[in-house]
Amino acid sequence: MILIAVVSYVVTGILYAVPTSPATLYNRTEYAAAVAALNQSDPNAGNLELLGQCWFMLGDFKKATDALERAAAMAPPDSMNASMIQTWLGRAWGRRAETSFALLAAGYATKSRQAFEKALQLNPGNADALGDLFDFYMDAPALIGGGIDKAAGLLPQFDKYDPVGAILAQARIDERKKQFAGAEADLRRAIEVGPGKVGLVLNLAQFLSRRGRYEESEKAFRQASNMAPDSPRILYARADSYIGARRNLDQARDLLKKYLAATSLTPDDPPRWQALNLLKKAGGA
């Protein structure tokens, strides 16, 4: 009787398996499957936010902005996810700006900035939005609201909510001003303040590569690999550095192909469409 009960339980479990949640599919980077599940779900603010994130990770930025705009309209300003919805909306509008004709790009970029700024208004401690807005100010021309002075103006907010991010932000400002010794010192200090974080070592490796200090850069990449031997992010960062320096392009292509084939990617890693774009830049696709 016990054996029959066990077999019955197993069969019943197979026949009535609990469906995998869209959030779990997203965390596995099974974005298309998550979209299919979300399209069958209640279109509330949380589901629309996740849907927008999935479309972003799949590289369809128009569908991403459409879903996230709907989510933003539904989420109360004091809700827990309202700030992150604006953060993802800023990212999606930013990518649309990068991939659109010049006549549309400026308008999309302005919407990106406005979304990041709103995200911080809703939650000043949103470190993701703070970093994204800093990047926008650093990279965008003054005509659409960018500028290094505006980026530097965020440093006190970094100090309060993201101390390691403050050091990295100062490093970027120093590098832009060609104060390379200061930038390097900042990056090494970030590693000391945030020990064990492989991303900080990758930042240093990429900086050294940009400075043409390739042997030191390789040493830092090896350090990162020793810290996290199975991290796909290291493959991407190393390939990005090689392509930026126009060196080791065959190796860069191999690294990106390994990255694209990796089964251990997470949503925190660069999306596959970003790796494919980099591979094209290296002449590999």
Tell whether 186 and 227 lie within a shared domain.
no
User: What gap in Å lies between CA 211 and CA 75, rounded to an integer?
Assistant: 45
How many domains would you assign to the chain?
A: 3
| Domain assignment of residue 218, yes or no | yes
| Domain assignment of residue 130, yes or no | yes
Tell whether 283 and 245 lie within a shared domain.
yes
Least confident stretch, 89-93, 99-103, 171-175: 99-103
Tell whether 163 and 228 lie within a shared domain.
no
| Domain assignment of residue 203, yes or no | no
pLDDT value, residue 4: 41
Tell whether 89 and 38 lie within a shared domain.
yes
Tell whether 189 and 218 lie within a shared domain.
no
Catalogue the long-range contacts made by 200-203 (C-beta closer than 8 Å, 24 or more residues apart).
200/164, 200/168, 201/227, 202/233, 202/234, 202/237, 203/168, 203/171
Last residue of a domain, one of 66, 101, 136: 101
Q: List pLDDT tens digits, range 212-244.
A: 999 999 999 999 999 999 999 999 999 999 999
| Domain assignment of residue 244, yes or no | yes
| Domain assignment of residue 148, yes or no | yes
Q: List pLDDT tens digits, range 93-119.
A: 999 999 999 889 999 999 999 999 999
Tell whether 34 and 97 lie within a shared domain.
yes
Q: What is the 3-state secondary structure (H, E, C) of the chain?
A: CHHHHHHHHHHHHHHCCCCCCHHHHHHCCCHHHHHHHHCCCCCCHHHHHHHHHHHHHHCCHHHHHHHHHHHHHHCCCCCCCHHHHHHHHHHHHHHHHHCCCHHHHHHHHHHHHHHHHHHHHHCCCCHHHHHHHHHHHHHCCHHHCCCHHHHHCCHHHHHHHCHHHHHHHHHHHHHHCCCHHHHHHHHHHHHHHCCCCHHHHHHHHHHHHHCCCHHHHHHHHHHHHHHCCCCHHHHHHHHHHHHHHCCCHHHHHHHHHHHHHCCCCCCCCCCHHHHHHHHHHCCCC
| Domain assignment of residue 146, yes or no | yes
Tell whether 185 and 219 lie within a shared domain.
no
Tell whether 185 and 246 lie within a shared domain.
no
Least confident stretch, 7-21, 122-136, 152-166, 246-260: 7-21
Tell whether 50 and 90 lie within a shared domain.
yes
Q: Whole domain around residue 234: which residue ranges? A: 213-285
What mean pLDDT comes out for the span 78-100? 96
| Domain assignment of residue 75, yes or no | yes
Last residue of a domain, one of 143, 165, 195: 195
Q: pTM score, two decimals? A: 0.91
pLDDT value, residue 76: 95
Indicate the average pLDDT of the chain. Answer: 93
Distances (CA, A) of 63 to 42, 44, 258: 17, 16, 28
pLDDT band at 284 (very low <50, low <70, confident <90, very high): confident
| Domain assignment of residue 6, yes or no | no
Last residue of a domain, one of 195, 227, 253: 195
Provide the CATH number for the domain around residue 22: 1.25.40.10
Q: List pLDDT tens digits, range 138-171.
A: 999 999 999 999 999 999 999 999 999 999 999 9
Tell whether 23 and 82 lie within a shared domain.
yes
